[in-house]
């Protein structure tokens, strides 16, 4: 299990407990390609169902851990959805983990999520109160 997935579980578990009373995301069928999972996550996001979108993006890393392209994009999308949900502290933590991944794995990763993550980090840091 990757560090990102562990962090996501630590962050998502309390949120999941709070959202347990709300409707749960529909389970994804076995064998669904990563691209289809992404499409379903995007559809949920477009309908404002960020909880379902986050859950679906999280499934990409669970089901396709060797699909680096989709995994990195999913990591970015999850952080962005936390930002859209008003959980900027969680979003910043996840963005920092994604950028740390780029520090370690560098050119093996697609460049676009790094650029977007750096931009989001800059915006989040400007919005969040400074810690001493």
pLDDT tens for 48-107 read 999 999 999 999 989 998 999 999 999 999 999 999 999 999 999 999 999 999 999 988
Q: Tell me, yes or no, if the pTM score tops 0.75.
A: yes
Sequence ranges of the domains in the chain: 32-127
- Three-class SS state of 48: coil
What was the pLDDT predicted at 12? 56
Is the pLDDT higher at 97 or at 14? Answer: 97
pLDDT band per the 50, 70, 90 thresholds, residue 120: very high
State pLDDT tens for residues 25-47. Answer: 889 999 999 999 999 999 999 99
pLDDT band per the 50, 70, 90 thresholds, residue 8: low
CATH of 32-127, one of 3.40.50.300, 3.40.50.880, 1.25.40.10, 2.60.40.10: 1.25.40.10
Taken as a whole, the chain contains a residue count of 132
Query: CA torsion, points 61, 53, 39, 23, in degrees to nearest 10?
Result: 120
Q: How many CB atoms lie within 10 A of CB 101?
A: 22
């Amino acid at each position: 299990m990757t560090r990102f997935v562990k962090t996501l579980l630590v962050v998502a578990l309390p949120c999941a407990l709070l959202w347990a009373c709300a409707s749960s995301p529909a389970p994804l069928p076995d064998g669904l390609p990563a691209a289809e999972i992404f499409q379903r996550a995007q559809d949920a996001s477009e309908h404002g169902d960020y909880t379902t979108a986050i859950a679906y993006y999280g499934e990409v890393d669970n089901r396709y851990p060797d699909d680096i392209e989709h995994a990195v994009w999913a990591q970015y999308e999850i952080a962005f959805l936390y930002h859209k949900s008003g959980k900027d502290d969680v979003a910043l933590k996840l963005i920092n983990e994604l950028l740390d991944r780029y520090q370690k794995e560098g050119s093996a990763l697609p460049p676009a999520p790094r650029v977007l993550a750096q931009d989001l980090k800059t915006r989040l840091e400007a919005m969040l109160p400074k810690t001493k």
